[in-house]
């Protein structure tokens, strides 16, 4: 063991960290991000569940170990030899958990929801780089920890109890809040250096502010109703089921429009129908009611009008998502958007298009695709 420690102290990796100590936390944050991007897939898969639980438990333990270092608890122990690497471990687990959430969020084709989380990640990057004390800033530490813990339970609780609704989201947040405050209070009690460095009331106030902010985001649909995610959303000319496959016939857009599968300008011929196909990812055995809310933009009133709400039930577990479609006849020309929502009104994604009609207009670049 001693020989291994001496070898590590003299290793090129340790010397590299010494020369680039300023950027080491960012490096470990990115390392955790890349590792999860290569290994994680489905939030309900056993490997993913074990890894997320391992990451969250390890982060909690390392956070405790690091926050009592200044009290000399590890000074004459084997752990004391690794004190300088504890902040790097924190950054690794921060990066690992954050990347896992990005992977699961990115299942949704609703980019606006995913981007909200990416913005939070960017803020974390800049906060870690430019705050004076960086990761040693306990207010930053526990704020980020609470955000990551909140997201962890929001994903994990529905997977475990096979149910997802607003009440489950609130329960997940409450569990995360209690666990975070318990950890903070425990460290505050056992660590004299922490009591000198932070004001408990201020720290608790920051945590409660983050809790309220996340719930406000959820209320205004700025956070997707995870772990549900809309994987596919297409406006089509026809949808039929053959041999347990959904055959979707739709128009494709120009080659440079890579962010959307279908053509935005939908050409409707006389007597035709408008179909909307979607596939929703949900954890195994989770059952949920999904609605397609058809909205048409009234140019006279300059507002969106709800034309119809058509729903269907989904059961989670399929890799490609649970498939379903709705359709309408006798629709008006103009701008349309289909909100794919849960029964509570939480938005999974939107499918926007414009209906064009005319005697000389015909569908362009029609293709068939099986789901």
Instruction: Specify whether 271 is located in the same domain as 361.
Output: yes
In a domain, 254, yes or no: yes
Whether residues 324 and 363 share a domain: the answer is yes
Query: Is 63 within a domain?
Result: yes
**Residue 223 has which token pair?**
């956070």
CATH number for position 279: 2.60.40.1930
278 & 144 share domain: no
Q: Which of 284, 272, 300 is nearest to 358 (CA)?
A: 272
224 inside domain: no
Report how far Cα 28 is from the mean position of its chain's Cα atoms: 21
Percent of the chain with pLDDT over 70: 84
Q: What is the mean pLDDT of residues 94-121?
A: 67
Question: The sheet that has 303-315: what strands, in order across it?
Answer: 265-267, 347-356, 334-342, 287-298, 303-315
Place of tokens 């974390």: 124
Tell me whether residue 345 is in a domain.
yes
Range of the domain at 287: 229-370
Average pLDDT, the chain: 85
Residues 183 and 241 occupy one common structural domain: no
How many Cβ atoms from other residues are within 10 Å of residue 60's Cβ? 16
Residues 260 and 56: their CA atoms lie apart, in Å, by 35
317 located within any domain: yes
Do 107 and 137 sit in the same domain of this protein? yes
Q: What is the pTM of this model?
A: 0.80
The pLDDT tens digits of the residues spanning 283-311 come to: 988 999 999 999 999 999 999 999 999 99
Instruction: Supply φ then ψ for residue 126, to 5 degrees.
Output: -70, -35
Domain end point (choices 189, 219, 249): 219
pLDDT of residue 319: 85
How many domains does the structure of the chain reveal?
2
Asked if 280 and 195 sit in the same domain, the reply is no
Per-residue pLDDT reduced to its tens digit, 2-59: 444 344 455 555 566 566 566 665 676 677 667 777 788 788 889 999 999 999 999 9
Say yes or no: 234 and 356 in one domain.
yes
Domain end, chosen from 168, 184, 219, is at: 219
The answer on 354 and 252 residing in a single domain is: yes
Cis peptide before 227 (omega within 30 of 0): yes
Show the DSSP H helices in the chain as ranges: 2-9, 12-19, 24-39, 46-67, 86-105, 111-130, 138-161, 166-190, 192-197, 200-219
Judge contact between 55 and 178, C-beta under 8 A: no
274 and 181 inside one domain: no
For the segment 111-155, what is each residue's pLDDT rounded down to a tens digit?
A: 554 466 556 655 665 555 554 456 678 898 899 899 999 999 999
Residues 211 and 239 in one domain: no
How far apart CA 136 and CA 141 sit, in angstroms, is 7
């Amino acid at each position: 063991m001693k020989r291994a420690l001496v070898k590590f102290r003299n290793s090129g990796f340790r010397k590299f960290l010494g020369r680039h100590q300023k950027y080491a936390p960012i490096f470990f944050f990115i390392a955790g991000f890349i590792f999860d991007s290569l290994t994680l897939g489905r939030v309900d898969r056993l490997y993913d569940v074990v890894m997320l639980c391992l990451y969250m438990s390890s982060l909690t333990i390392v956070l405790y170990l690091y926050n009592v270092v200044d009290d000399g608890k590890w000074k004459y122990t084997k752990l004391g030899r690794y004190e300088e690497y504890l902040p790097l471990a924190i950054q690794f687990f921060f990066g690992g958990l954050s990347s896992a959430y990005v992977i699961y969020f990115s299942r949704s084709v609703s980019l606006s929801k995913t981007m909200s989380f990416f913005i939070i990640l960017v803020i974390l990057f800049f906060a870690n780089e430019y705050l004076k004390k960086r990761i040693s800033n306990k207010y930053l530490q526990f704020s980020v920890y609470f955000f990551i813990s909140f997201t962890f339970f929001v994903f994990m609780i529905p997977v475990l109890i096979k149910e997802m609704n607003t009440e489950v989201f609130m329960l997940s947040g409450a569990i995360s809040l209690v666990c975070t405050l318990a950890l903070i209070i425990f460290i505050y009690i056992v660590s004299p250096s922490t009591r000198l460095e932070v004001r408990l009331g201020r720290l608790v106030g920051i945590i409660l502010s983050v809790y309220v902010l996340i719930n406000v985001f959820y209320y205004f649909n700025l956070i997707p109703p995870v772990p549900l995610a809309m994987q596919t959303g297409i406006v089509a000319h026809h949808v039929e089921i053959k041999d347990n496959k959904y055959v979707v016939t739709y128009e494709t857009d120009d080659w440079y429009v890579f962010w959307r599968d279908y053509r935005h300008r939908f050409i409707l011929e006389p007597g035709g129908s408008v179909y909307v196909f979607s596939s929703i990812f949900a954890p195994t055995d989770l059952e949920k009611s999904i609605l397609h809310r058809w909205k048409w933009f009234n140019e006279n009133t300059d507002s969106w009008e709800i034309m119809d709400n058509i729903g269907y039930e989904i059961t989670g577990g399929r890799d490609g998502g649970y498939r379903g479609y709705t359709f309408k006849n006798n629709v008006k020309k103009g701008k349309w958007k289909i909100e794919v929502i849960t029964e509570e009104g939480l938005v999974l994604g939107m499918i926007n298009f414009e209906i064009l009609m005319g005697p000389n207009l015909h569908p362009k670049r029609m293709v068939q695709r099986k789901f």
